[in-house]
């Protein structure tokens, strides 16, 4: 195995895990990182699909107690579990409908780094505005999110189909607009990511089945593990950080990295 390719694979996996649940756009960072590193991983869609699943597995591990409690609660018809499950399902539905309809166009956008750079900057500015004018939170638990709030968050999630917008950023800021507190907004975004990304993975596999290639399975496994481990490390500290300090640092980071990327792209 080529050492340089191995190191690049580890870096890409770490980037995926660190950025998947932060409001900075994992897709945008992967697109820019692959271009910067001249990364040529395994052919087909398998690599990018598998490393996303690694990040999702980390959330399932970290929040396994809530996940299993919800499943058990739904079986027992517990009102809180049913309410929470309904909120996640309702929030997930807009991405299903709009994602399927715009799948081909979205994939075309992924190949344009300049779209990523501009989206990073615009998204950072919007985070600063929302943080500045957000009203006092009225929802302080994922169990208290009603279906109307969830539906709005679901439509906000669809904005993340534009590369560089950030799925977590769009859902968290959507929740903040409707007066959900910071930690609850982030945690609901994590739970919503589970069906959303699994659904996107299944759809990608279905659409690209004939072109999938498991050649380079060692690199794929390394990308999966590094994405899993880095996401495992970052999720809980992220919730603690934003509870105390807000999202401003992520907004300025987006603006800075987006401006740098845009400058480099325009120079070529």
pLDDT in tens, 158-203: 998 888 899 999 999 999 999 999 999 999 999 999 999 888 878 7
- Mean pLDDT over 217-222 rounds to 86
Residue 216 has which token pair? Answer: 């380079």
Planar angle of CA 55, 238, 165, nearest 5 degrees: 65
Q: Could you tell me if 31 and 12 are in contact, meaning their C-beta atoms sit under 8 angstroms apart?
A: no
Residue 115 has which token pair? Answer: 């779209």
**CA–CA gap between residue 26 and residue 16 (Å, rounded):** 6
pLDDT, tens digit, 9 for 90 and up, residues 238-262: 999 999 999 999 999 999 999 998 9
Planar angle of CA 25, 184, 248, nearest 5 degrees: 50
**Residue 265 burial (CB < 10 Å; 0-12/13-18/19+)?**
middle
**CA–CA gap between residue 204 and residue 224 (Å, rounded):** 17
- The full DSSP string for 96-137 is HHHHHHHHHHHHHHTT-HHHHHHHHHHHHHHHHHHHHHPPPP
Question: What integer pLDDT is reported at residue 109 of this predicted model?
Answer: 62
3-state secondary structure of 58: helix
**Residue 155 burial (CB < 10 Å; 0-12/13-18/19+)?**
middle
- Mean pLDDT over 29-53 rounds to 78
Question: What integer pLDDT is reported at residue 28 of this predicted model?
Answer: 82
Question: What percent of the chain has pLDDT above 70?
Answer: 91
Judge whether residue 214 has pLDDT over 70: no
3-state secondary structure of 164: coil
**CA–CA gap between residue 182 and residue 4 (Å, rounded):** 40
Question: What integer pLDDT is reported at residue 258 of this predicted model?
Answer: 92
Judge whether residue 121 has pLDDT over 80: yes
The ranges assigned to domains in the chain are: 3-267
What CA–CA distances, in Å, run from 120 to 27, 28, 128? 11, 8, 13
Judge whether residue 155 has pLDDT over 90: yes
Q: How far is CA 256 from the centre of its chain?
A: 20
Q: Could you tell me if 84 and 142 are in contact, meaning their C-beta atoms sit under 8 angstroms apart?
A: yes
């Amino acid at each position: 195995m080529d050492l340089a390719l191995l190191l690049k694979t580890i870096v890409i996996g770490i980037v995926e895990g660190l950025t998947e649940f932060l409001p900075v756009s994992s897709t945008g960072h992967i697109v820019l990182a692959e271009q910067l590193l001249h990364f040529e991983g395994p052919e087909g869609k398998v690599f990018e699909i598998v490393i996303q699943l690694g990040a999702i597995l980390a959330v399932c591990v970290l929040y396994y107690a809530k996940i299993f409690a919800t499943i058990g609660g739904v079986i027992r018809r517990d009102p809180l579990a049913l309410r929470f499950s309904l909120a996640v399902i309702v929030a997930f539905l807009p991405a299903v409908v709009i994602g399927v309809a715009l799948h081909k166009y979205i994939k075309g956008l992924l190949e344009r780094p300049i779209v990523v750079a501009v989206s990073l900057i615009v998204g950072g500015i919007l985070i600063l505005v929302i943080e500045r004018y957000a009203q006092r939170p009225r929802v302080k638990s994922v169990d208290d999110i009603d279906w109307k709030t969830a539906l709005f968050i679901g439509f906000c999630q669809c904005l993340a189909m534009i590369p560089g917008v950030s799925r977590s950023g769009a859902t968290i800021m959507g929740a903040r607009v409707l007066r959900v507190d910071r930690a609850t907004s982030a945690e609901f975004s994590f739970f919503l990511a589970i069906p959303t990304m699994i659904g996107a993975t299944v759809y990608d596999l279905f659409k690209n089945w004939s072109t999938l290639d498991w050649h380079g399975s060692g690199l794929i496994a390394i990308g999966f593990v590094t994405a899993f481990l880095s996401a495992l490390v970052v999720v809980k500290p992220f919730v603690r950080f934003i509870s105390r300090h807000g999202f401003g640092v992520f907004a300025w980071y987006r603006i800075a990295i987006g401006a740098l990327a845009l400058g480099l792209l325009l120079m070529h």
